[in-house]
Each structure stands twice: as C-alpha cells, then as structure tokens.
Amino acid sequence: MFLNSFRVLVKIEKNVHARHNSDIAFIGLGQMGARMVNNLIKNGEKPKVYDILPSNTKAIQGAIPCSSADEAVEGSKIVITMLPNGSIVKSTILGEKGILKRLAKNSLLLDCSTTGPQVAQELFQSAQESNVRFLDAPVSGGVVGAQAGTLCFMLGGNLKDYQEVEPLLLHMGKKVIYCGKSGAGQITKLCNNLILGVTMIGTAEALNLGVKLGLDPSLLTNVVNISTGRSWSSDTYNPVPGVMENVPSAKNYEGGFSVELIAKDLGLAGDAALSINAPIPLAAMSHQLFRTLITYGLAKKDFSVIYKYLQGEKVE
C-alpha cells in the first residue's frame, strides 16, 4: 500500500513539474487554434493549453491541459493567443484577470488573432510597460492551412523577436514573414482578407452565373483555374458543393472560416480605411453582403456559403 501511494505521489509530482517547465503556452483552441496546437505537438513540442470551453482543452492529445489562462502562462517563455476578436483578446491580455500581469519579464507574447492595427499597437505598448515582448502575428491559410501546417504568419513588432520565434512558427506554418513595426502584421492581414472576401463573392457570382446558364460547375472551375480568373477561392476553397472534397462547401458549409469572422475582418478594414480616408468600395459592399448573411442566420457557416445565397437557396 505504501509503495502504491509513493508511486501516485511521484506521478503527481512529475505532472506538476511538467506544467511548470513547459516553455510554451497556447490560449484559444477553436477551429484554428486546435489545429495549430496539434502541429506543434507533431513537431515535438508539449505546450500548455487552455480554452474557455473545457471540452476543447480536453480534446487536445499530447499537450498539458490547464484549467485557467493563468495556469497556462505560469512559467512560460512564449505565449500564443488565437482568439475570435479584438475585444476578447484585450480582455484576455489586459483585463482585470488578464494574463499580462502573470507573464514573466522578457517573455514573448504572440497574438495570432485578427484584431486590427490599433489593438495590436495598444497591446505592444502595454506589454512594453510590463517588460514583456509582443508580436502581432495573424495568419492566412484558414482551417485548411492550419490542419496541413501550411499557414502564412504575418508578424509586426521587433525584428529580433521575429527572428527568435520564427523556428517555432514554422512548426505550424510554411511561411513566416516580417512585415514591420507593431501593427504591420495586422495591416497585412486585413489587406489580404479584403481581397479574400471580395474574390470569394466574385467567384461565387461567376460560378452561379455559369451554372444557371447550363454549365457544369466542375468544368467551369477547371477552365477558370487555368485562366485569368483563378484565385484561392476557385482552386483551393471552391464554394460550389461537389466540385472539391474536404472543403466546407462539401460539408454543408460547416467549419472553415465563418461568415461572422470575414464580416468582422472587413469591418476592421473599413475602420482602418476610414482613419486614413482610403476608399474601399468593393470591400464595403462585400462587408454588407456578409452582414446580410448573418441576419439570415448563417453567421456560423463558412463564408463560401455566399454561393447558396446568390443561388437563392436556403441553407440549414
């Protein structure tokens, strides 16, 4: 009996030791975050992980599950956040129970969420005041890229911090690009997603037109993809059901990059454009179309569901 009790105590001590000696913490285990963490694990890391939904935390195999954000960041040298929007990011980092208060001096905080440059710059300034380093590090590639480990990271902040963290990010992505000072990663991401939102609508419009005029959508897609109309929305993330496998349109538009998130990003792009008086008429119209989808109850569907909306078909 004594021997069994000793073994239990040793196991508990090892688990506690592991928790406090993991250098990496990851907060936010949604569609993107969970897949990113899995790629860290595949590449030999054992991060501490936390999500506001305990089921998401428990679902990660090979990581160290934590019951709070504080527990996750304790003793960590690198902390990564991947959260739905800027308000949640600010609350998680700067709020009354924010993790910035718990981060060790000179630790490195990376936010991979899409928040806009103003939030990123505010976080950078607050981190500096707490002797913590900060990088805005939004990603492109969506759920498909997160799953495959082919994301593109766009970093804003100090060059030396980028150089330090680049090898780790390459466990989750194919490219890590330094974009400039704090906020530059967010600016780059918003410009990319502006193009993404507009081209998805354009692709869906064209494919819907072709189908309604009698063309086979696969044939039309094949022609587009070897012609000047080709885009990521046509050759990697096609919005027409049955044209491609393993994309949201093949799964009733479940998963993927939600309508509410593309609408959020286009709204952030609009805010940024307004602050410098830059006209973005196509992005503004795209923003309103995706907001319309939200009013139809499609907020959680993948944004390629715009195809069904243009068809005039109901999506359950």
Give 303's Cβ-side CA count (13 Å radius). 29
Does the active-site annotation cover 189? yes
Which letter does DSSP use for residue 104 in this model? P
* Amino acid at position 189, single letter: K
CA distance 224 to 136: 35
Helix (H, G, I), strand (E, B) or coil at 148: helix
Number of Cβ within 10 Å of residue 174's Cβ equals 14
Given the residues 48, 189, 301, 308, select the one marked as catalytic: 189
CB contact at 8 A, 93 and 100: yes
Among 120, 134, 15, which Cα is nearest to 78's? 134
Angle 70-75-76 from CA coordinates, rounded to 5°: 85
Q: Where are the alpha helices (DSSP H) in 95-183?
A: 117-129, 142-148, 159-169
CA distance 313 to 306: 10
Number of Cβ within 10 Å of residue 310's Cβ equals 17
CA distance 2 to 6: 6
* Amino acid at position 272, single letter: A
Catalytic residues, by residue number, are: 189
